[in-house]
Chain A
Amino acid sequence: MRKVLEVKNVSKLYKIYKSNTDRLKEIFTKKSYHKEFIANNSISFELFEGETLGIIGVNGAGKSTILKIIAGVIEPSSGEVIRHGRVTALLELGTGFNNEMSGYENIYLNGTLIGMKRDEVAKVAKDIVEFSELGDYIHEPIKSYSSGMRMRLAFSIAIFSEPQILIVDEALSVGDAHFASKCTNALRERKKQNMSIIYVSHDLNSLKLLCDRVILLNHGEIVEEGESEDVINSYNFLISKLNDNEDKMVIKEANNSSFGTFEVEIKEVKIIGKKSKSNLISSGEESTIEVIIEAKKALKDMTVGIMIRDKFGQDIFGTNSFYQNIAIDFESNCSYLCSFDMPLNIGTGKYSITTAVHSKDNHLDNCSHWLDHATDFEVAGIEGELFAGICRLEPKIRFTKRDNQPCTE
């Protein structure tokens, strides 16, 4: 495959000066007046024709800097970027739009700004209008547009400018679901025509869906590069380390709802995917919910239960030891681990886990501890065959011709 982009040992140092005068002095003299801040440290990678490369990293990892360098908006302090073909960046959608002018005029304006010739724009103007679904609004001035309409127009222009490399930075998050999926499809379509994409997003699910390869940046350096699945898992491990301290706090403070007699107390709740080793789990992945419980008093015939809720607080799935006929007895001053192993057959999205210790099948009797929102997790990407919705029902599909209904002409 043909290389379309070579990034060779690119570093970006931001020099920090006491004043702009010092900065100016340094341009014209040999003396040094600055402290250094390293935004990118010898980054090298290549991008091939038709490939989608994802870049992830926590805030401040240097993602935007490297994108701006690739786009040519800022210059690297050392190293070089070789571009084979036009690079179009959707760094901020609609930069360079003129508010007073109509959408149609802005197609020309924005198109020439991102490097198209006038006749090239003229060729695709009609397609752009159609794709953006703006209809007659295209002749209204941009100032009357909603942010969604602006975004649709900007994205349409970018996709029809047919760049060799398209840089997409969180741009797809603006539109509604309909347009977002239209964009994703359009990106796939262009990909087949050998356009390469650099995609930066915090939406891990879309990264897994779109990217062939992902680069993980941390402190301005490439930490890992490879299959989306693996790199995203390392990314999540990185985040979980950052979050560790905060998570425990949440449980202790129990700001949402934590109640009961506390004779038996839930100390910690964790969910871990078998492959990802973190709380970012693919749909269908074997995973374990671990509930650590401390008993202060001896209690017999108790139940430990969990409930998975989606981001709207809807119950998705719940079970407990009572339903499974597992008797649980606590001795006083002992610590227990209760784990729930299961393939996580739910759709992509963010979920929370609520846990409780009580007797019988619900918490109305002898509730020792009820802990809402004990922890949360995200399902991103799907193992095995794809599906839509929140539950995987695994139907067998059969397709036959009906014998008693002959085909009619």
Chain B
Amino acid sequence: MLTYIIRRLLLAIPTLLFISVAIFLLLDLAPGDPLAQMPLTIPPEVKEKIRLALGLGEPMWVRYLLWLKQFFVNEPLHIIANMTGWDVASDAQRVISWQTRSPVADIIAQRLPQTLWVVGMSYVIGVLIALPIGIISAYRQYSLFDQLGTFVSMVGFSVPTFFTGVLAIVIFSVQLGWFPSIYDTTLVVRDWDSFVLQVRQMVMPVAVLSLYNAAQISRFMRASMLDNLNQDYVRTARAKGLSEKVVVFVHVLRNSLIPVVTVIALGVPTIFGGAIITEQVFKVNGLGQLLITAIYANDLPMVQTLAFIFAILIVLFNLIADVIYGVLDPRIRYD
């Protein structure tokens, strides 16, 4: 098992390197000047000096390696320094946002909780809804419940979140006035009233995202249950007189959860990507919104860092999915 995990870990390193090269090159080769936003009154020789000070005069591979060093050495050191108070980082160069002139990591740390709350909550709720729906619709295949579930998940899968979100705003905050349409990030949960406010503003984004997540996962759960329900071992279990509850929840469910668990793990990073849209709809100032504003402002370090963080999340959760699969299904390990 350990060698399996180590092998997977080693495989992740070239993947991450490739992605970092891709992100770096995409931003580096793109037309467009990081100094384009500067006032035209700056004389050209001063502009050239600014360019050199930003490190734009170095050859590409030097900048790439420096960027890697900043990202993988300096930033973690600074984060450790901030958390523990040790002076390990001293004054190593940090990744600075061109927009705000403050370290990128600090801004991301400010934005992360909102994203984690909304996205994480919606994913958990989505999974909790999806699993029972998948189990019941597989067990009662072609029943009314199954047909309805299929239709709802097809709709949830097909209707984009930027429409369901806007529709939810139209119905629940414009017409009915139940929930606020804008997510207030300055709200601090101190007492019961502020907690209620927090819950109220989270209801719509979480509901919209969890509908989308639940639609996909319930399909997987249903298909996986159906695969297992027709297997011989199920007939054997029934034949030896086990109760239906034991057959379904112990024998079938455990086996059919194996692929579903990996799908759930694989879905986590894509959720962060999908949350970009939901955050934009409900004005949640999380990571996705940060990315959009950074793109609009041509803030290259911020865009690079965020894109790379999304990539790390994907690779990490791919790894987690692989490991879980290996743990749950021993056949995979010895491949």
A and B from one assembly?
no
Show the binding face of B for A, using Cβ within 8 Å: none
